[in-house]
Amino acid sequence: MEKNIDIKTILSNAISQYEEDSVCSKHILSDITTKDALLLADETNTLKIFTNSDDIFTLSHNEWIQSSSNDEDGFATYCSTLDDKITLLIDELVVDII
């Protein structure tokens, strides 16, 4: 069963480090942890995130590593370095690995 979760759902459920620019509706999502992703993931331990044009993600390089290619639907794939069974799929616009 595919589970679609949009960024606003994620923000309201599990992520506390959120900022919103009310003028341009830009969302900045910082430091999604493996634990956060696991709480929201589907039964395959995959969290698929749909973004808007101004959304920005910041992921820790200590916790996430990007796969060398996107999946068949064009989503950027990030695997947890803490648990290799946890995957983020992001229809990326801007994802910063810091």
Domain around 28? 5-97
Residue 11 is inside which H or E element, if any? helix 7-13
Asked whether the beta carbons of 36 and 60 are under 8 A apart, the reply is: no
- pLDDT tops 50 at residue 95: yes
Residues found in the chain: 98
Residue of higher predicted confidence among 82 and 61: 82
For residue 97, what is the enclosing H or E element?
strand 95-97
Q: How does pLDDT run across 32-43, given as a tens digit for each residue?
A: 889 888 988 999
Taking the C-alpha atoms of residue 43 and residue 18, their distance in angstroms, rounded to an integer, is: 26
Q: Which helix (H) or strand (E) holds 76?
A: strand 76-80
Q: How many domains does the chain have?
A: 1
With cut-offs at 50, 70 and 90, classify the pLDDT of residue 18.
very low
CB 20 within 8 A of CB 54: no
Give per-residue pLDDT as tens, 19-77. 444 445 666 777 788 988 898 899 999 999 888 777 777 888 889 999 888 888 889 89
